[in-house]
Chain A
């Protein structure tokens, strides 16, 4: 039986670096052995910082390494499909950042290979591993709020991502709302049946160039008859604001907070406190817990809590929301 899981990271960008650091310092039964990135310098630098591990410009070379049991995919979304397929064919277990891909066809193709190769796959919906959201799910499962009736979420980024990132991101719904969509399915215990979305460019006019929006509202109907609503924004102007409420027949659950550090300034102008600056602070723990879960699943050969199917379902809803927003009609799934 293996004592540690050897992992290779494909994609040494912002999120890849975060995962690398967590694997190195927070996950005792993980062993980061290699990184790959098309940008040679980025791969080299990250490998250097992680204790001079192996590095590759070409992820395929990394996948050939026999000692690597699992691959963490944090490259650009447009190459997810080919890396997933390559890794699965080599029998590597897969942790893939969200969204799995930008289209359902690509996702289906990738998941079919994963299924055939019988490797484990987890999708990076880290919010499910946030201690507060995880507790909320437990309470719902215990029946503490009765039957869930309405799902409400707000997710506002402090400011928009760089132009090039936004252009390649798949749009607000696929890039950002997808987190809230995953929570909606998870908390409500039902699939989304109908979606209606409104979205506009209200903050960043340059988003019009690639047909994206920066503020959006999504309304859902679930198969079991319950309802849902999500508000997303690329720029709050004050900080990272993410809140969820699940209204049940016997109570309601509210998750989320504004204050980052636990101090209050009280003076003649009133009471003030800071706000959560970005997703890094809000979900720092969740990023560690999701990786720990993946590594534990690989060790015990258990199916992860968030599978490729979850990634696919969330993508399907996000794409429907995108279409709804573009066409001004509701979409039935």
Chain B
């Protein structure tokens, strides 16, 4: 008997296509039975090339497919809330790319629908499924570095995002630093209670049209008194540079690496090696792992460990940091005005 978990996927942009490949080739317990995208041609073409049973040009029809148990939401962030609410209404379990939504209000609407229908929900913080970060978390839990007291994280993209993406992404901090905020909460095991951010458009003038910035640095204070700092940038023209460091009372832990291939070239000019090019080279395996975990959670009927509440908490820090940058002053969490 085929007991594979039937999955429908909504949104066939860059991330959606990555998830399609993972579901088809790398997650044996999943069966991708339907895809949907407002771009009709894309949906049709991908369904044909991977022999996926159903394809739709709207998500509503996909949600009507009865035997679908889990929905992977990789559409634009602006439509996340309505898809989550719609999927919850018909009792589908949900995996949603980060951020869950661009505002806390929308996020709360989505979370309320999830609670009401008691469906499972996993937020797409794939870094928690990266081998490096998983080992780090394990060491911290084993007490290898004592009590974590200071958090540092660097996330640098190798290029400026496309303008149409930048306009709907929520901005550098919500789009990118949100990963670091999730890591901060997870690895420090404490909530963030205050942030102060500085940022600017220092390299890519074209981002002005999207009212976005390309560099930011954010200081954080945690509820237990520990401290943290996140640096994000779009102009690491040398590669995809992701590093995190947690200092504890008894030691420290460093996660991240520069060299992509295990090759060092030695010449008279010195020693040279390459750099991790981009996100899939660094987190390709993590993306597969997180979806695999989601499918296992459905199969074993257990709740995912990266919850909607985690998505909300990281978003709140990101929104507070964005506000802090705009107002040029520290912002307390929880946010008062939402």
Residues of A within 8 A of B (CB): 236-239, 241, 258-259, 266-275
Contacts and interface: CB of A to CB of B under 8 A. Distances in A.
Contacts of A274: 270-271
Interface in B254-283: 258-259, 264, 266-275
6 contacts: A237-B267, A258-B264, A268-B238, A271-B238, A271-B275, A273-B272
Nearest to A270: B274
Contacts of A266: 238-239, 258, 275
Nearest to B241: A266
B17 to A, nearest CB: 27
A272 B237 contact: no
Contact of A273 (B239, B271, B275): B271
Contacts of B259: 271
A111 to B, nearest CB: 41
Given A266-B258, A267-B237, A272 B266 contact: no
B271 to A, nearest CB: 5
A287 B268 CA distance: 26
A203 to B, nearest CB: 15
Contacts of A238: 266-268, 270-271
Contacts of B266: 236-239, 241, 258, 275
Contacts of A270: 238-239, 272-275
B270 A268 contact: no
A50 B333 CA distance: 69
Contacts of A259: 271
Contacts of A267: 237-238
Q: Is the interface of B mostly helix, strand, loop or mixed?
A: loop
Interface-central residue, B267, B268, B271, B275, by most chain A CB under 10 Å:
B271
Task: Report, nearest first, the 5 A-B pairs whose CB atoms are least far apart.
Answer: A272-B272, A238-B266, A270-B274, A274-B270, A266-B238
Interface in B106-132: none
Interface string B86-112: 000000000000000000000000000
A259 B275 CA distance: 17
A275 B267 CA distance: 9
Given A236-B266, A271-B274, A272-B270, 9 more contacts: A237-B268, A238-B267, A238-B268, A239-B270, A258-B266, A266-B275, A271-B258, A271-B275, A272-B272
Contacts of B238: 266-268, 270-271
A269 B271 contact: no
A271 B101 CA distance: 37
Nearest to B267: A238
Contacts of B273: 270-272
A260 B264 CA distance: 15
Nearest to B236: A266
A275 B268 CA distance: 8
Contacts of A272: 269-273
Contacts of B258: 266, 271
Contacts of B267: 237-238
Contact of A275 (B270, B274, B275): B270
B272 A275 contact: no
Contacts of B274: 270-271
Interface-central residue, B237, B266, B274, by most chain A CB under 10 Å:
B266
B261 to A, nearest CB: 10
Contacts of A258: 264, 266, 271
Interface-central residue, B237, B267, B270, by most chain A CB under 10 Å:
B270
Interface string B220-240: 000000000000000001110
Interface in B233-251: 237-239
A272 B273 CA distance: 6
B275 to A, nearest CB: 5
Contacts of A268: 237-238
B167 to A, nearest CB: 27
A157 B109 CA distance: 69
A250 B272 CA distance: 33
A46 B239 CA distance: 52
A238 B270 CA distance: 7
Interface string B69-83: 000000000000000
A273 B275 CA distance: 13
Given A266-B238, A266-B258, A271 B268 contact: no
Nearest to A158: B268
Nearest to A237: B268
A259 B273 CA distance: 13
A268 B259 CA distance: 13
A92 to B, nearest CB: 44
A319 to B, nearest CB: 32
Nearest to A260: B270
Contacts of B275: 266, 270-271
Contacts of B272: 269-273
A268 B237 CA distance: 6
Contacts of B269: 272
Nearest to A266: B238
Contacts of A269: 272
Nearest to B158: A268
A329 B74 CA distance: 68
A271 B259 CA distance: 8
Given A258-B266, A266-B258, A275 B237 contact: no
A170 B259 CA distance: 42
A189 B271 CA distance: 34
B320 to A, nearest CB: 32
A238 B269 CA distance: 7
Contacts of A241: 266
A99 B239 CA distance: 49
Nearest to A272: B272
A244 to B, nearest CB: 18
Interface in B272-300: 272-275
A208 B316 CA distance: 75
Nearest to A236: B266
A215 B116 CA distance: 75
B115 to A, nearest CB: 47
Nearest to B269: A272
A241 B272 CA distance: 15
